[in-house]
Structure 1
Amino acid sequence: MSVPPKKRRFCGLRGAGAGGQFARSGRRTRTRYSALAGAMVYPEPSRWGAPDAALAPLYDDVYRADGVLSTVNVVEALQEFWQVKAARGGGAGGGGGALVIYESVPAAHPPYVCYVTLPGGACFGSFQNCPTKAEARRSAAKIALMNSVFNEHESRRISEHFIEKAVAEARASFAGDAAAHHQDPSAGIAAFRFMLEANKGRTMLEFQELMTVFQLLHWNGSLRAMRERQCSRQEVVAHYSARALDDAMREQMAREWAARERDAASGAAGGVIRTELARAERELRAARLAARELRFPKEKRDILLLAARLAPPQQQQ
């Protein structure tokens, strides 16, 4: 592969460790992608490398895509990546195959925003200031492709070490949510650990939709309600592992938030949905601009927007 010798920056990764110069084309792929790994949320950047010969060319596509978009179509490269995985039997999402789904945010003027959802449920958004809808799609595809490639590394597989670190981070994250919602995070943390234990060997992108389901159940208060009904963790995980995060689940949660809004309004303490929606919007925007995985805040926002439509207008004011 011939790469112009001029050094380039990976533009647009605000607050995510970007700005380091790329290696010249003569350096090894591992070194080249160590520079990129600082922009990701994944650990041990010095260990990234191409997982096998079939996927290695796509590392070069990601490298060339920065500043050479006229010669590399990152949208096609992302689709090809997941088609290769599906053909090798490593596709995520069960029967979902290698389908990559794009969602453009309606807007009358720039900057435009686009989200892309990968097989397995992980979601990324355009992280740059995009003047066109096509550029927004390419921006989302670029960061999704980078994460897809890095996800192939062994350190992204769920292991005992990974579980301990993830649970510690979840405990710290849920602590803030618990304070905001007056919830005991212990039920959610315990279910999260059990769920990780049951999915050892999978990668985080393959596991993302199931994890998002349980994040939403904790946020929505459903895990606590199931614990009060004395449902076992095994029963809860088994039930929701077989369910997709679909419109029916979103509508069920939205109706629960609409009911909370009605209850709060009857006690002259309305605005529950408005407050929660503002928080979800802030989280989603921060995750998108930092080029982080953002399925959870995006689903929260979508559920709350639906809840706002379901709640009577007079109780939204």
Structure 2
Amino acid sequence: MAFESLRQVVRAVIEETNIIRTVEPEEVYKMRTGSMDNKAGTNGQYFTTWDFANGMIRDMSMHTWYHFVELAENENVPLDQLYYIINLFDHPYSNYLRYSGFPRLGSLALALRQHLPSATSRKEAVDAVRAFCAYTNLLSAWCFHYFPWGLGTQEFSYESSIGPSPILPDKSRRIQIRDGRKIKLTWEGLGVTVNALLAVKENPELCDDIINALPFTILQDHAVIGGKSMYGWAPVVSTAPVHVKERQCDAPPGRIRFSQGTGNKFIVQYGEATEDIAMPVLGEVPSDDIDRLGAVGLHVLKSTFETKELIWLKVELA
């Protein structure tokens, strides 16, 4: 595809992002069904192609384009240096993915890199980089949802699931939400709605980013490593300063987190979490509604590992 200006490229990226917000991308569908035009994969199989692409898109969004946004917003980074860094680090991802099932992603990334130096201001450059980051985040969300995580439970389960938690939690470290802005979470199709509070005192700038994006509806998935949490990629690219973090293993059921650095995910913990990585505190579901989260969590767990049912979470002001 040919573009005559950066503005045209950004418009195409935004249009593509809007299309796939609620509809599975054609490239993801072709990947998971083995119907790619380019049948990449040795020995007549495409699982390795799918596995590589899933990991690369995740890394591309989390550890590449999100950091490009941070660099673009940093006025101490000259724009010509920014363009050099983007060319250097994006090409290995987008060029491989172009070959391996994602030609549209590859062509949009190439066009953006080619036209980015024509930006007439830092703001125009920031907006372009932000748009592409949001696009890769959403691609990552769909790739995650449809990846066959159930293979793990079938073939790669521990001999015994009984044993000590890998990390000992410390409840004394739990963050207390002093006050909050009321929001409402509704798992559409499951008939479950709970109230929640945003930690506007603890992380005001982060909460502002979320509030300004409300209402939004996101595809719900389950954590595959860290325990009883469910999440979705939010239509937000937040670089807000974070003042308060909490280790996941210390957090109580009902904790709401926002992970800027792993795709801008809106996370709801409904039980024990095992990771000791500290993440930004976004809010909490009050104790009155926590019991309702368990059934939702189990439903989402089954969707992620087995059925691939589309479960949507609507987040709005109460």
TM over 0.5: no
Q: Which has the higher contact order (CA 8 A, sep 6+)?
A: 2
TM-score by length of 2: 0.27
| Higher strand fraction (1 or 2) | 2
Higher helix fraction (1 or 2): 1
Q: TM-score, normalised by structure 1?
A: 0.27
